[in-house]
Amino acid sequence: MLLLCSLLVVCRLLALVLRCPTPASSPQSAPADPTTAQALTQHLSVSRGKEHLRVTSAIARSTSPPAAAARPRRMLGHRFPTALRLPHGLLQRRSIMARRGLTIMAGGEAEGPLAGFFDYMERLRNYERSGVPRGAGTDSDDGFDLGRMRRLLRRLGDPHTHFPAVHIAGTKGKGSTAAFLSNIMRAQGYNVGCYSSPHLLTIRERISVGNDGGPVPVRLLSDLFDEAKKAIDEAIESENGSLTHFEVFTALSFLLFSQQNVDIAIIEAGLGGARDATNVIRSTELAASVITTVGREHLVALGGSLQSIAIAKSGIIKQGRPVVIGGPFSEDIEQIIRDRAFLTQSPVISACGHGIKSFTKCIDWDNGKPYQRCYISIKISRDVPLSIEMHDINLQLLGDHQRQNAVTAACAALCLCSQGWDISDASIQAGLEETQLPGRSQFLTAEEASALGFDSASTVLIDGAHTEESAKALSGVIKTVRPEGPLALVVGMASDKEHLAFAEQLLSGQTPDVVLLTEASVAGGTSRAMPASSLKEVWIAAARDRGIEYVDIGGVSGAETPEHISDLLDCSPSSNSGRKPMVIGCQDVAPFSSNLIVAASQLLESRGTAPGLICVTGSLHLVGAVLQQMGRH
């Protein structure tokens, strides 16, 4: 009897093993029981030790992109069984919601069908507009309740468990890194879902799905909301109205990615990491986590120090899954991240450590837009061996910081290669080169500037920098692209930013000839907007601290005639030195109007200077206002 029982157990185990897919199995051979498949996967991973992480990317990758007709090989079958991807509940409508073409321009579709959706979302609590509560992003009693997010997703069929994901956090660079990595995967032919924030023109920009990276189509989002609304209503009632705008939209993005059967999702964290609504991704679905940088932003919400911010962001690291760190980091901050990785037994890939070499060869121009020609070499032998060398790669995103983001994204792509994804060197380079992000070091063409009523020979640059670190990066871009010539700044910021540090950083480089301050509405409201007059006082204090002579011309509406602009300058006191003093003024009518860019140009011309550079910065919301006004014309 004992022998018979033993034989039955052996037969049962053999049957389970034969049902479990191998890396070479077709998608149709997935196990019927995901739990059993997951248990076997964990056993296989343990038995192999670290060997499966030491497969070099040179072996895992082909040397050229696949033929258009061939679908790229996705993650190894035993890592992500097909049974985990079968739709259920709300997910059964995937066949109805077929893949549709996406628009590249956010304003390319009328959004009338989304009126009900917009009204619904407006009624939800929106911390982007009102400001995040103290400690909300920390892994503590004050932090956001991830249980609330998990319960919402459960009502929607747990869509976040139906696709592999790369989770990206960081103070700066996470949006650019997500865009770089998404385009790499698209270049290889994968069906990619990408979720990011904030948006510039329409909330649809936050979700992209498919092969072109454009905003989610109006009808697709409208159908998705109509389908999910009942479950969301029930969740809101169950949670006593505490579900937030960000939580609901994040859940909708996960649902869409599942229904569209994406090969991989690139998910950008909204705030911090540990208690962010996106941090429901489990280790079983996480392909890799990425931490780009750690800086002094959202200090109150994330614990009040760089160390607490690093702890919050390292919360996206999951058990046994690799983490790519961008940087550069200070020694203590990097150690916090590595300590978390050690506790979770996660291999660490440093995108700025030994074996990484990158530099910009030159800046060139194409159709009125600059790009940087770079050299990038990645040769890592520890933990997860990675290797690629790109001698001439043309990045449309400018600056040393964007080159570093490109290196970080390339490391993440190579990390996926080591797990069995087919990604060629050619696709990595193509994806990096094709990436462009509106509002990030974006130089407007003459045609785009003319849409704002701007007909000067000066150049307009728009950049969403809003921290001390990003101001430093912006100064570097200005120095590289326009090392000489007149400079005007048009600045608007949210009230919870470090205004003085931002101003001092921009004044530490080339001293601007003109600074005009404006009020930037945030998420469609003014509660977080810094008044232009208050911002002007900050810039005056920064100029005094640096010993910069200035003249205060008071309020400017942007509708002044050239003659009135000249009168403003004539009435200003003269400088004690030979150099003309910096002109500071503020828009006296809120909110921002593109007329202020015209006024900045007129002020430069009235000073008798040659055509210069006019930079609009301080907030992505301000940059969005520029693009919106440009689109109206």
| Domain identity same for 345 and 449 | no
- Please write down the HEC assignment for all residues of 224-276: HHHHHHHHHHHHHHHCCCCCEHHHHHHHHHHHHHHHCCCCEEEEECCCCCCCC
Question: Using alpha carbons only, what angle is made at residue 83 by residues 151 and 53, rounded to the nearest 5 degrees?
Answer: 95
The answer to whether residue 103 sits within a structural domain is no
The answer to whether residue 378 sits within a structural domain is no
Q: Would you state the pLDDT for residue 484?
A: 78
Which mean pLDDT values do the consecutive 10-residue runs of the chain (633 residues) have?
47 43 34 35 35 34 38 44 36 34 45 95 90 86 92 98 98 96 98 96 95 93 97 97 96 98 97 95 98 91 93 97 96 97 97 95 90 97 90 96 98 97 98 95 89 83 94 93 87 92 94 93 79 95 95 81 63 60 88 87 80 92 90 67
Q: Would you state the pLDDT for residue 454?
A: 81
CATH code of 454's domain? 3.90.190.20
- Please write down the HEC assignment for all residues of 186-238: HHCCCCEEEECCCCCCCHHHHEEEECCCCCCCHHHHHHHHHHHHHHHHHHHHH
- DSSP 8-state assignment for residue 509: S
The answer to whether residue 585 sits within a structural domain is yes
The answer to whether residue 67 sits within a structural domain is no
| Domain identity same for 579 and 476 | yes
Q: Would you state the pLDDT for residue 559?
A: 67
CATH code of 289's domain? 3.40.1190.10
Residue 348 corresponds to which tokens in the numbers above?
Answer: 């660490």
The answer to whether residue 417 sits within a structural domain is no
Q: Domain count of the chain?
A: 2
Domain boundary among 326, 352, 378: 352
The answer to whether residue 43 sits within a structural domain is no
| Domain identity same for 337 and 448 | no
| Domain identity same for 456 and 347 | no
Q: 591: cis peptide before it, omega within 30°?
A: yes
Q: Would you state the pLDDT for residue 538?
A: 97
Q: Which residues are within 8 A (CB) of 161 and not within 5 positions of it... i.e. 6 or more apart? A: 84, 282, 284, 285
The answer to whether residue 614 sits within a structural domain is yes
Distance (Å, rounded) from C-alpha 450 to C-alpha 341? 51
Task: Tell me which residue range forms the domain holding 484.
Answer: 442-632
| Domain identity same for 154 and 261 | yes
The answer to whether residue 418 sits within a structural domain is no
Burial per residue of 6-37, b for 16 or more beta-carbon CB atoms within 10 angstroms, e otherwise: eeeeeeeeeeeeeebbeeeeeeeebbeebeeb
Q: Which residues are within 8 A (CB) of 20 and not within 5 positions of it... i.e. 6 or more apart? A: 31, 36, 37, 40, 41, 78, 81
Q: Would you state the pLDDT for residue 142?
A: 86
Domain boundary among 352, 387, 404: 352
Collapsing DSSP to helix, strand or coil, 529 comes out as strand
Tell me how far apart the terminal alpha carbons of the chain are, to the nearest angstrom: 86
Burial (CB < 10 A; 0-12, 13-18, 19+), residue 111, is: middle
Distance (Å, rounded) from C-alpha 552 to C-alpha 540? 8
Single out the residue of 258, 265, 266, 269 nearest to residue 228, CA to CA: 258
Q: What are phi and psi of 553, to 5 degrees?
A: -95, 5
